[in-house]
Structures are given as C-alpha cells and as structure tokens.
Amino acid sequence: QKQFDAQMKQRRREEPKWWESVLDFGGKAAGAYAGYKVYTLGGGGTCFAGSTLIATPNGPIAISLLNGDKIKTPGGYQSVLAVHEYDQHSELIVNGVEVTKTHPFVMSDGSLELSGNLKMGDMLWGGVEVTELKPHEGTGKVYNLDVEGHTFYLEGGILVHTGRDTDAV
C-alpha cells in the first residue's frame, strides 16, 4: 500500500490535475463551467450503474446494494464510508461496466483518466486492457462510493478512483 501511495502521489505531482480533463471534457460537451460543476458537486458525474459489481471479501456485490460492506482496495479490504445515489444514467460501457463519462479510472502508470477519454487498448492498473468501449444510454440511477484511500476495485480487477478528494490517494 505504501509503495502504491508513493507512486500515485509522485505521478500526480508530475501530471495535470485530473479535473482539468473534466473541464476540457465538459467544455466540449456543455461548457467548461458545467464540467467544473460536475466535478465540484459530485452531482452524479462520476458514477456507475447500480448493477456494477464491486469486489468484496465475500464475492462481488452490486454497488447499489452495498451498505457498510468492506470492499477491495489497494490497501486491503476497507469499509464503505458512504454510498451516493443520483438520478442520472450511465453513458458508456467500459469492459462490461456501465459508467458516466467523467469517472476516473486508474491507468497502468498510476495516472487517472476519465472514462470518456479512454481508448481501446489502453492499459489500466494491474494490467487490465480496455477491450470494450462503446456509447450506452443507461436508465435509472447511478452510484458512487466514499472509501478510505479513495480507490477501489470493481469485480474483474479494474481499479477506479472515487472522483472525490483527488489530492488524496
């Protein structure tokens, strides 16, 4: 965990803040201000469909069903601090995961990349390759988590950031 934290902090100092990508992405879609608001308010901009499976010590559980459960993080299994639910729908499918376009994924080099900026063949943390990437208009609600350390694993080994407090690893 300490090595992971050190690598992430060093890479974050060397790269632009990930939210600058949100501003750029939001600017292209609906104006930079809207992109900034998605980031600052956490208003459902960085979320997953309710059926998204999260890695837990007892096997995968849908994100919408988590309630104080422990989930897999780079530092071991940590308790979910909060589950956030928003009236929005997913916009992409990345390797079978329904996600909004502004959710940060951890790349193989430790940097963060928004889901809407991923490309086929990109390498995610842990050697997971992006093999599926397509537009998708989901229905219903989307969810995000607060967890100690700000990163957690989806089922299948994909490491993602919560999108909150991105200065913390």
Domain with residue 115: its CATH number is 2.170.16.10
Q: What is the pLDDT of residues 102-157, one digit of tens each?
A: 899 999 999 999 999 999 999 999 999 999 999 998 878 899 999 988 899 999 99
Query: How many domains does the chain fold into?
Result: 1
- Confirm whether 167 is domain-assigned: no
- Confirm whether 119 is domain-assigned: yes
- Confirm whether 34 is domain-assigned: yes
Side by side, the strands of the sheet bearing 97-99 are 70-73, 76-86, 142-147, 48-49, 97-99, 92-94, 133-135
- Confirm whether 149 is domain-assigned: yes
More confident residue, 119 or 163: 119
Range of the domain at 55: 2-161
Output the pTM of the full model.
0.73
Query: What are 61's two structure tokens?
Result: 């559980």
- Give, as one character, the DSSP assignment of residue 27: H
Could you tell me the CA-to-CA distances from 154 to 16, 98, 157 in Å, in that order? 25, 11, 6
The CB density around residue 128, as the number of other CB atoms within 10 Å, is: 18
Q: What is the pLDDT of residues 57-108, one digit of tens each?
A: 999 999 999 988 999 999 999 999 999 999 888 899 999 999 999 899 999 9
Place of tokens 């959710």: 103
Assess contact for 138 and 128: CB atoms under 8 A: no
Q: CA-CA distance, 10 to 101, in Å (whole number)?
A: 26
- Confirm whether 78 is domain-assigned: yes
- Confirm whether 74 is domain-assigned: yes
- Confirm whether 168 is domain-assigned: no
- Confirm whether 105 is domain-assigned: yes
